[in-house]
Amino acid sequence: MNDFIHVASISLPMLLQGLRLTIEISVLSIVFAFIGGLAVGYMCISPNKLVEGTARVFIKIFRCTPFMVQVYLAYYGLPSLGINVSAFGTGVLILSLYTSAYAAVILESGVKAIPKGQYEAAAALGMPRLKILYRIILPQTIRMIVPSLTGQFVQTVKDSSILSIITVAEMTMMTKEAIGITFSPLFVYICAGVLYWALNLVIEFISGRIEKKYNRVRI
């Protein structure tokens, strides 16, 4: 029992410190990814072929290459271009871009699921394209894609663990450090797993509230 208390007194403060950084990275990445996903998703449905093609290339690059490779390229590549960014900033940047590529595909599929008659009716009333998307299409789209986006944002939290390879002291890195000090991998990994689980439960709870809100609006 004394050994358990000793391990907990050392590892839990370290894990909570890592959890705080994981939350910061995840929240920033999710917010930026949603904004980026909206922009890239809108580009995907643009009538301009160059704009659409640019969005498709962006999506292919980030969806078809391993996230770990992207992290390494950003961490070592940006300084070689004269762009000095901290490990934290690099992690948020690349995780945001990576997640936005998936969010864009989800958003595009939701927009395309809306009947074309709604576009045509709004256009016939003289509404601008952006206003049609913002006032009519986007609210319906969000209602449909909340579950898919939730799954993607949960994955974003888990992907943040990979940033430990570029010395970002998030929870996975602090887990390894705690194991190195306590030599109790089972207990430390169980604690880390519980904290990740709790964090993702919060995301699912928030998304559930958003989904209920939009369903009430529809009713």
Q: What is the tens place of the pLDDT at every residue in 157-166? A: 999 999 999 9
Beta-carbon neighbour count of residue 217 at 10 Å? 10
Query: Which pLDDT belongs to residue 1?
Result: 64
Query: Which pLDDT belongs to residue 133?
Result: 78
Query: Which pLDDT belongs to residue 150?
Result: 92
- Of the segments 32-46, 116-130, 139-153, which one has the largest average pLDDT value? 32-46
Largest CA distance in the chain: 75
By the 8 A CB rule, do 70 and 98 touch? Answer: yes
pLDDT, the chain, mean = 89
pLDDT class for 219, splitting at 50, 70, 90?
very low
H helices present in the chain, as ranges: 2-44, 49-63, 67-80, 87-112, 116-124, 129-132, 138-159, 171-182, 185-218
pLDDT at 210 over 60: yes
- Domain that includes residue 71, residue range: 2-218
Query: Which pLDDT belongs to residue 98?
Result: 97
Mean pLDDT, rounded, for 84-104? 95
Query: Residue 138's domain is classified under what CATH number?
Result: 1.10.3720.10
Q: Is the dihedral of CA 8, 14, 19, 22 positive or negative?
A: negative
pLDDT at 21 over 90: yes
Domain count, the chain: 1
Nearest C-alpha neighbor of 132 from the set 147, 117, 144, 150: 117
Beta-carbon neighbour count of residue 28 at 10 Å? 17
Query: Which pLDDT belongs to residue 216?
Result: 60
pLDDT at 62 over 90: yes
Query: Which pLDDT belongs to residue 102?
Result: 96
Mean pLDDT, rounded, for 32-47? 92
By the 8 A CB rule, do 111 and 44 touch? Answer: no
Please indicate whether residue 143 or residue 102 has the higher confidence score (pLDDT): 102
Nearest-angstrom CA–CA distance, 163 and 22 = 10
Q: What is the pTM of this model?
A: 0.89
